[in-house]
Amino acid sequence: MPGKVLFLLTKTISMGSISQGDRMWIFAVGIFMVHITPDSLQLTAIYGLTMGTTVLLGGPLIGDWVDNSTRIRAARLSIVLQNVLVILCAAVIYCFLMFKEELLDIGEWTRYVAYTLIIVLASAANLATIANNIAVEKDWIVEICERNEEKLATMTATMRAIDLSTQILAPIVTGQVMDWSVENGAIFLSAWNLVSCVVEYFLLWQVYTKVPALMKTKDVSRAKTADDSSKISKVKRTLSKDELETNLDETDARVSDRLLGRKNNKKSCSEKCRLFSGFTIIVYGWKTYASYQVMLTGISLAFLYMTVLGFDNITVGYAKIQGMSEAIVGICMGAAGLLGIVGSFMYPSVRRWVGLPRTGMIALTLEWIFLSACVVSVWLPGSSFDLENPDKLEKLNCTNLTAIVPADNITTNQPFDTITTEPLSIFACPDKEVSIISVSVLMGGIVASRVGLWMADLAITQMFMETVVENERGIVNGVQNSLNQLLDIIKSALVIALPLAPQFGLLIILSFAFVYAGWILYIIFLCRAPRDLFKRGRLDNGYEVMP
């Protein structure tokens, strides 16, 4: 119990530090890219593509490394690498912005060297962040909670609430600093990561020394044995007494062969396939992921990433085009964060009342119900949806200038800029108002759906924690990260293919279709899954062979 209390306090501090640093970096890096190449978004696009590709390919590799490392080594090394790489990247950005002219005088090649360093360091830092997330938030936490499902639900909800809180605070803090000076923003982020690295390292070491379970070697096969043994129990119940003795030994032998074969295959891969070790680890990771019954819930979660119905740059940009002010967009983002926190705190209670599987179903149902309002918004007044004329620009196009500038005040030789200094778009058509009904309903649906989204994320994450073998938590969660990234890349590709505002309605419909498809997959999982898959005490007792 002292270890759990210490971990909660420690993780609150370290998670707040890590999340705040991550959120500030995510917010700041976009601004850095714009300042580095103010006339082009090419660097930003390359950065995003590189980040997505490295996560897609590197997820299983990172997870496998976590599985094959001791808990303390994986946690400490990932924290140090994450912070050091961010510090180095911020330093490169600072140097390039401060000494850009001097560097370019040396040669144009210095520009591309700087671009390459920034992208490589940022991508590597992102992989280190994923490694830390897998090591601590997907593995350590299970042992800290003593494999107790109730404690696990409460702690994961608390950690998610912390993360969502930093999602609100980080842009405010970073924006204020970078509004003062972009270069000072780079210095601030470097200093933050330097201090947080020391604090996080020390606090995690304190937790590790106070929780004996973290010092134990990861067991290779106990959890999977328990899962297969539950199937043996079903065989016992269904076979007749005469058949039982004959078939039970054969079933036990198959289970043992399967476990031994998996272990030998992995060992054989590490010994004989070194030249293709990266590829074989990726293949092994996806096969391992597919072997679990909760695979469908993971795919369901990944489908939620194929959406423009979130507060990313794409949706925020569309809201601006539709006439929504920055202040209102900011309020919507804050409200979404608050409702996400509400959903996080609701999760333990809902899980306690209806069970883990039904909690996920309720959460996904809430999400698609609220997002259906976004689909309706496509045809409401103010929507720019028009697939027949997608190149049509939604600009005011009338010439009623006399409504503002009386004719008797105009001379034939008088230039327009002496008549008014206001933008033409304001005075060109004073009687025409752009309706924001459509975009308001869109943003309202997105905000309300955050309750279901984060509850579903917590429920599905806990399903993986309860069912995945201890020594495969890393590679399975690494594959899940890759799958999430794959769907996010598909979303980006669709946005590139459908970049115009009149086409955004189609992106909304496609996004809703993926969310609904994720809900269908989850329902299929519920129909197929054994009733005792998430029974109480599974984590605690699941590491013993069931009779």
CA 309, CA 445: separation in Å to the nearest integer?
9
In angstroms, the first-to-last Cα distance of the chain is 30
In this predicted structure, the answer to whether residue 426 has a pLDDT above a threshold of 70 is: no
Length of the chain: 547
CA 541, CA 547: separation in Å to the nearest integer?
12
Report for 49-53, 152-156, 516-520: range of highest mean pLDDT: 516-520
CA 478, CA 135: separation in Å to the nearest integer?
10
Lowest mean pLDDT among 34-38, 76-80, 354-358: 34-38
- Give the per-residue pLDDT at 331: 86
CATH 1.20.1250.20 range(s) for the chain read 280-387+417-547
Q: Quick one: pLDDT band at residue 124, thresholds 50, 70, 90?
A: very high
CA 405, CA 119: separation in Å to the nearest integer?
52
- Give the per-residue pLDDT at 302: 96
Lowest mean pLDDT among 176-180, 434-438, 478-482, 497-501: 176-180
CA 403, CA 430: separation in Å to the nearest integer?
7
- Give the per-residue pLDDT at 11: 59
205-231 pLDDT per residue, tens: 888 888 888 888 776 544 444 445 444
- Give the per-residue pLDDT at 107: 86
- Give the per-residue pLDDT at 361: 96
CA 14 to chain centre: 19
| Residue type (1 letter), 335 | A
CA 547, CA 545: separation in Å to the nearest integer?
6
In this predicted structure, the answer to whether residue 112 has a pLDDT above a threshold of 60 is: yes
- Give the per-residue pLDDT at 299: 97
- Give the per-residue pLDDT at 165: 85
- Give the per-residue pLDDT at 167: 79
CA 133, CA 547: separation in Å to the nearest integer?
35
CATH class of the domain whose range is 1-218: mainly alpha
CB of 368 within 8 A of CB of 516? yes
Give the DSSP letter string of 31-67: HHHHHHSTT-SHHHHHHHHHHHHHHHHHHHHHHHHHH
3-state secondary structure 237-267: HHCCHHHHHHHHHHHHHHHHHHHHHHHHHHH
CB of 432 within 8 A of CB of 400? no
Q: Give the pLDDT mean for 374-384.
A: 93
> For domain 280-387+417-547, which architecture applies?
Up-down Bundle (1.20)
- Neighbouring CB atoms inside 10 A of 279's CB total 12
Question: What tokens appear for 211 in the block?
Answer: 């929780």
In this predicted structure, the answer to whether residue 45 has a pLDDT above a threshold of 60 is: yes
Question: What tokens appear for 251 in the block?
Answer: 């079933």
CB of 341 within 8 A of CB of 475? no
Report for 40-44, 68-72, 268-272, 388-392: range of highest mean pLDDT: 68-72
- Give the per-residue pLDDT at 477: 94
The angle formed by the CA atoms of residues 169, 170 and 172, to the nearest 5 degrees, is 70
- Give the per-residue pLDDT at 4: 52
Q: Give the pLDDT mean for 396-425.
A: 38
- Give the per-residue pLDDT at 12: 62
Which residue shows structure tokens 């925020």? 316
| Residue type (1 letter), 30 | G
- Of residues 337 and 395, more confidence is placed in 337
Which residue shows structure tokens 């990266």? 278
- Of residues 229 and 89, more confidence is placed in 89
Which residue shows structure tokens 């006339």? 39
Lowest mean pLDDT among 347-351, 356-360, 399-403: 399-403
Of 319, 443, 313, the closest CA to residue 371 belongs to 443
How many H helices and E strands in the chain?
A: 21, 0
DSSP single-letter state for residue 519 = H
CA 238, CA 248: separation in Å to the nearest integer?
12
Average pLDDT, the chain: 78
pLDDT above 70 as % of the chain = 74
Q: Give the pLDDT mean for 482-501.
A: 90
- Give the per-residue pLDDT at 435: 82
pTM of structure: 0.78
CB of 127 within 8 A of CB of 54? yes
Q: Give the pLDDT mean for 447-459.
A: 96
CA 543, CA 146: separation in Å to the nearest integer?
12
Question: What tokens appear for 339 in the block?
Answer: 């409702």
pLDDT above 90 as % of the chain = 38
As a whole number of angstroms, the longest Cα–Cα distance in the chain is 109
CB of 451 within 8 A of CB of 342? yes
CA 37, CA 257: separation in Å to the nearest integer?
58
CB of 512 within 8 A of CB of 120? no
CB of 478 within 8 A of CB of 361? no
In this predicted structure, the answer to whether residue 182 has a pLDDT above a threshold of 90 is: no
Instruction: Tell me the three state secondary structure of residue 107.
Output: coil
Of 84, 470, 457, the closest CA to residue 305 belongs to 457
CB of 220 within 8 A of CB of 266? no
Q: Quick one: pLDDT band at residue 265, thresholds 50, 70, 90?
A: low
In this predicted structure, the answer to whether residue 267 has a pLDDT above a threshold of 70 is: no
CB of 344 within 8 A of CB of 164? yes
Of 278, 265, 216, the closest CA to residue 64 belongs to 278
Phi, psi of 433, deg, nearest 5: -115, 135
In this predicted structure, the answer to whether residue 151 has a pLDDT above a threshold of 90 is: no
- Of residues 179 and 397, more confidence is placed in 179
Report for 150-164, 319-333, 517-531: range of highest mean pLDDT: 517-531
